[in-house]
Structure 1
């Protein structure tokens, strides 16, 4: 069963909006809304960790430092690929990421490719 494209769009744009506004509750609510049956997050090339701990760590370490700029977001069926610039808030530059999202029967799998 394919997840509605509008639901995926609302999640992708909503979580970025919450991140940029510093709305932690809203950010986590977006993740919970699309993953009632489980969440996995992988930083490609690093050991697997608990997804909710990954999000907590990401929020604590990166949210104050970076603002997400969406370069491109492509949704095909139950999957999305996003190219983001994690722009530094207090200096020039940032970190480019390619983020892959797979929505499957109430499970969300995320893979982050980071270009330091």
Structure 2
């Protein structure tokens, strides 16, 4: 399996509830329909009322941790190639402008490890 993570920040002026509602009911279905190489697609919304942190650590500068799994690196590259097509990328960016601060989007691949089962 191959995994990518995106840290996304809501557009100024949107409440957390409006952000989640738009992502779940508009953007997530668009992504799922547009990129079939994504085999698992999770959105994690941090609950800062129940946070453990070192004293003085500020709140994070994102509103959701999005996880995307692919069968392999080729699946991830297929998603990137599809997104690079102007008609696709333009549609995704237009939808993002409804709820994301696009200047703060960050996406990266991970080297995910698990503890061995005993």
Q: TM (normalized to structure 2)?
A: 0.27
Q: Going by fraction, where is strand more abundant, 1 or 2?
A: 1
* Higher RCO (C-alpha 8 Å, min separation 6): 2
Greater percentage in helix: 2
Q: Which has the larger radius of gyration?
A: 2
